[in-house]
Structures are given as structure tokens and as C-alpha cells.
Amino acid sequence: MAKIKVGFGFDVHQLKQDHPFVLGGVKLEHTSGAYGHSDADVMLHAICDALLGAANLRDIGYHFSNKDDRWKGISSLILLQHVVALLAEKNWKIGNIDAMVCLEAPKINPHIPAMQANIAEAAGIDVEDISIKATTNEQLGFIGREEGVVAYAVCLIARAS
């Protein structure tokens, strides 16, 4: 039996007025955007954590500290490429990625194909192996008040043959 592992990732970012909103490597038109040290792409951060966790390689903060200016304002697609390289060094390949974003606005459904294409290219996997979903928080809590955005991700990795 081939060795397989499952990973889980979570991330949250504050939303700030008149700040760019990048999600899945796509810049979304909105009045506010996720704020953070890098481009604050909450979905890609959750995906990176899921992959790192599955491979037992710690977490995104360990590899890309928000105290390190090398990562200031960087595209999270580049962070994902680094994570995929770390997995390859340990002889892991990605089976699939399933991500969920929780936000009130903007609607991301029209952007999902572009997000899948960005992730597929950065991760070196097929678009068909990437699932992206979104939900609202039914106007409850900090997500409902549009003060923040949350993302969850799970992934499957397998030993490369």
C-alpha cells in the first residue's frame, strides 16, 4: 500500500477598507481586503498549512515568518511554490486539495476557475484536483460584520513513486 497522509489548514485575516483583496492568487474587486505581512491570501495560507501539516513540516509561520522582510508583500502563490518544493524534497506529491472560504462578500464563484488555474500552476497539479468552495457566516460574528475572512483546507499527499 502506498503511503498517504491527510493535512488540515486554517487561516484568518482582518479585512481593511481600501486594501487589495487577493484570494487564490486573484485580485478581487471589493471595498476592503485581507491585511497581512504577505499579500494576505487567506485561502493559499490555509492550503500551505494543510500541505505542511500532512508532511509533518511544521506550519507556514515557521517557514515564512512575518518578521522576515523577504516575505513582505509577496504573492502567496510563491509561498505555495516553496511549500511544494519542501514536500518534493521529502518525496511527497499532492493528491488533491479541498479549500473552503468563509466571507460575506464579495462573491467568489465567478473567480473559482481562475483560482484553480493559479493553484494548479503553482502546485504542479491538475485543476481537477483542486476544489474551492465558499460560504457566508449568515451575518454572524466578525465574518458577518465583514471585519475578517477565514479559510480552511484539507489535502491528500502520497509518497512519490
Residues contributing to the annotated binding site: 11-13, 37-38, 45, 59-61, 64-68, 135-138, 142, 145
Distance from C-alpha of 90 to C-alpha of 52, rounded to nearest angstrom:
11
Q: Which helix (H) or strand (E) holds 35?
A: strand 32-35
Angle CA(66)–CA(71)–CA(74) in degrees, nearest 5?
125
Annotated binding site for a divalent metal cation: 11, 13, 45
Residues 117, 133, 85: CA angle, nearest 5 degrees = 45
Beta pairing partners, 157: 5, 94
